[in-house]
Amino acid sequence: MSPLREKFVSYLQLRGYTKATVRNYVDPVAQFQKWLGKSPIHMSTESVRQYLSYLRNTRRLAPRTMNIHIYALKAFCEFFLPESQIMAPFRRMRTPKHQVKILSAKQISRLIETSPNLKTKAMICVMYSAGLRLSECCSLRIPDIDSNRMVIHVFGKGQRDRYAVLSPKTLIILRTYYREYKPKEFLFEGKTSDRHIHVRSAANMITLTALRAGITQKVSPHILRHSFATHLLERGESLLVIQRLLGHARVDTTARYAQVSTEMLRKVASPLDMPPPAPDPTDAPAKRRSLRKKRGPGRPKGSRNRRPAPSKSTKKKASRSRKGGTK
């Protein structure tokens, strides 16, 4: 590792970034250095603009991947070129918002029943019943399963820990799995007992299980987490509760599952199918009184003319004018 990269990695670690985030920031800077042909310390605004244009138009990277490159170069400038304004003109790209895909309850049951081994079955049950991310499930340790309180202690994204639900059915499967595999430190061990299973290996196991179950749509491990949140929402659980279970920092992230729930959409009645509200007879006098107040006092009771009756002095003056005027 070069001294420049070592300093950059140390800077990212001091900011509290995880290993995955450090890798996602170091690799784009290394790619930029290879494209530039010299150290990235000599970068300029024009070179960054040309590089981002190359990524977008030639390599045709998605907006999300483009944003990772932008964030990485900004972090590099913040550490090595703090006084420069090289990355000031560049903002994150807008990412398209897609509908979250989920599995039905029947598909989840078929996925669990057709698991090729007990380890895959246990992982699918834990991820779906507790709404865990794949990395959270893979890094679970044996003490994280609290059967007395029926919770799972999860060390999640952004170094935030939380408690997730431990399903009684999942606990039965985990006890059977523990007696057969006898893990020592991590719940789902990898090739060696001192390391957990790799996320890529776990993802391949779940994808192959979905093919075995005859599920035609593409199944990723994260779809189990989406299904967990959507099924809870369909049963009437509060968004705030689901946010706490999923470990979301903002409720806006959890609210997107409300757009997915087809069960909730079916329960909504169209305004065309709803009968118009019947008029309330008790409100009619109140409406007339309110209209009368707005229009003013109106005509005197019993009068037929719009103008008020003339007074006696007015009548005398009118008769004198007809006789020839006043003296």
Q: Tens digits of per-residue pLDDT, 271-327?
A: 766 677 676 666 555 555 555 555 555 555 555 555 555 665 665 666 666 555 544
Distances (CA, A) of 241 to 173, 183, 222, 223, 253: 26, 32, 19, 19, 13
Q: Give the pLDDT score at 232.
A: 87
Six-digit token string for 45: 């605004």
Say if residues 66 and 52 touch (Cβ distance below 8 Å).
yes
Q: Which residue is associated with the tokens 């007879």?
A: 281
List Cβ neighbours of 265 (8 Å cut-off, separation of 6 or more): none
**185 confidence band (pLDDT: 50, 70, 90):** very high
Distances (CA, A) of 19 to 23, 108, 135, 162, 201: 6, 32, 12, 20, 18
Walk me through the domains of the chain, giving residue ranges and CATH numbers: 3-80 (1.10.150.130), 105-267 (1.10.443.10)
262's enclosing H/E stretch is helix 262-267
Length of the chain counted residue by residue:
327
pTM comes to 0.67
pLDDT: which is higher, 180 or 238: 180
List Cβ neighbours of 314 (8 Å cut-off, separation of 6 or more): none
Q: Which residue is associated with the tokens 């757009």?
A: 259
3-class state of residue 151 by DSSP: strand
So which residues are the catalytic ones?
A: 133, 157, 222, 225, 248, 257
List Cβ neighbours of 27 (8 Å cut-off, separation of 6 or more): 72
Count of Cβ atoms closer than 10 Å to residue 83 Cβ:
5
Residue 268 to residue 259: CA distance in whole angstroms: 13
Distances (CA, A) of 177 to 118, 120, 208, 216, 267: 6, 10, 20, 28, 40
**242 confidence band (pLDDT: 50, 70, 90):** confident
Q: Give the pLDDT score at 293.
A: 55
Count of Cβ atoms closer than 10 Å to residue 178 Cβ:
15
